[in-house]
Amino acid sequence: MMSSVRTLPQSKEALLKSYTIRLKDDIKSMLENFEEILKLGKGDTDSQLSRMTQCEQDTYEMHVRAANIVRAGESLMKLVSDIKQYLILNDFPSVNEAIATNSKLFRQKQAECDQKLATLRDDMAADLYDLEEEYYTSIYK
């Protein structure tokens, strides 16, 4: 099976195709193994083995098939993880959108701060002008 996104760079189409193949293979494996377990559960098999031997063989086969189902399920979970990782690392439009949104937000904050600083500067200049005028017209200088 194909491994995760960490392999050599592939085209998007090839990567998506490999994900689709992995998905179909894992689901097919789960379904086939489940069907075989159900067939074993019916116990329709006619064989020349003794009943005890046949029971042990069926039990062993059920364990193997259950392990195959678990393996296919883990493979599906790994596939989901790989797809999430691919989307997170390669979702450039949403990353660019987030950067643009943050940039716009920070520019607005900068404009607000600049406006507050300009207002503060004007207020301080007016107060300083009043203080200087008071100082220079004072009889105590």
Mean pLDDT of the 88-95 span: 80
DSSP 95: H
- Tell me the Ramachandran region of residue 8: left when phi exceeds 0, alpha when psi lies from -120 to 50, beta otherwise: beta
Is the pLDDT assigned to residue 137 strictly greater than 50? yes
Closest Cα partner for 72 from 14, 32, 37? 32
- Whether residue 36 contacts residue 11, with contact meaning beta carbons closer than 8 Å, is answered with no
Asked whether 34 and 19 are in contact (CB, 8 A), the reply is: no
Backbone angles phi, psi at 43, to 5 degrees: 70, 35
Report the predicted TM-score, pTM, of the whole model to 2 decimal places.
0.55
> Does residue 5 or residue 42 have the better pLDDT?
42
Cα–Cα distance for residue pair 81/75, rounded to 1 Å: 10
Residue 94, pLDDT score: 78
* pLDDT given for residue 50 in this prediction: 82
Residues 6 or more apart in contact with residue 41 via CB below 8 angstroms = 62
End-to-end CA distance of the chain: 92
More confident residue, 6 or 104: 104
Average pLDDT (57-85) is: 94
| 3: pLDDT strictly greater than 50 | no
